[in-house]
Amino acid sequence: MADFLQGIDVSHYNGAIDWPTVAYGAAAPAFVYLKATEGGTVVDSDYLRNRAGATAAGLLCGAYHFFSPTEPVADQVVNFCNAVGSVKGELPPMLEVEQPGLDQPAYAAAVAQWLQQVGDRLGCTPGIYTAAGFWNSCVGSFLAHPLWIAHYTPGPSPAVPAGSGSYTFWQYASTGAVRGIGGPVDMSRYPGQASQLQALLCS
């Protein structure tokens, strides 16, 4: 890709992060997604610290929720919204969908419920993080939301779920190296310019 912006995503698994070094070091990312919550009760232990540090360092941030198909959707909505509060000025919230547990119609309905209720509560349209193969087999019909696709390939573009003709973010590797973060880092790309990325921010 000749025209893209580099991004990363992190959670407590990445350990303590030196955000000024991340933001001002060589090959600094243009954006970062932070794990906020998982299921109906779990809040990532480093979310608030990472959010404050990344924001103070001037990085564009977004939050994501790891979806549990076996837990009540309403509990997961409350967990995420309580953890993030306002998302004004941040990238759209993302729902990570990669865990089996429901048949296709029920899974699609549960995902749609989370997206609708979180969007209503936070006033910003959430997106979906997934891999094409998982989505096609476990969820089925694609929903008209921003797509963060996971596909680790050296090719020029990722595979996307059936029914989705484009993507917003592409997580293309899980073994990146970023100054200020110890160990491997998930790497993503945004296929556009800084002004276009800014236009995605929640108002």
Residues recognised as catalytic = 9, 98
| Contacts of 157 by beta carbon, 8 Å cutoff, 6+ apart | 1, 170
Taking Cα atoms as reference points, which of 74, 139, 64 lies closest to residue 100? 139
Identify any residues that bridge with 23 across adjacent strands, giving them in sequence order: none
Taking Cα atoms as reference points, which of 200, 199, 187, 150 lies closest to residue 22? 187
DSSP state of 141: S
Q: How far apart (Å, rounded) are the C-alpha atoms in residues 20 and 91?
A: 20
Taking Cα atoms as reference points, which of 132, 123, 121 lies closest to residue 97? 132
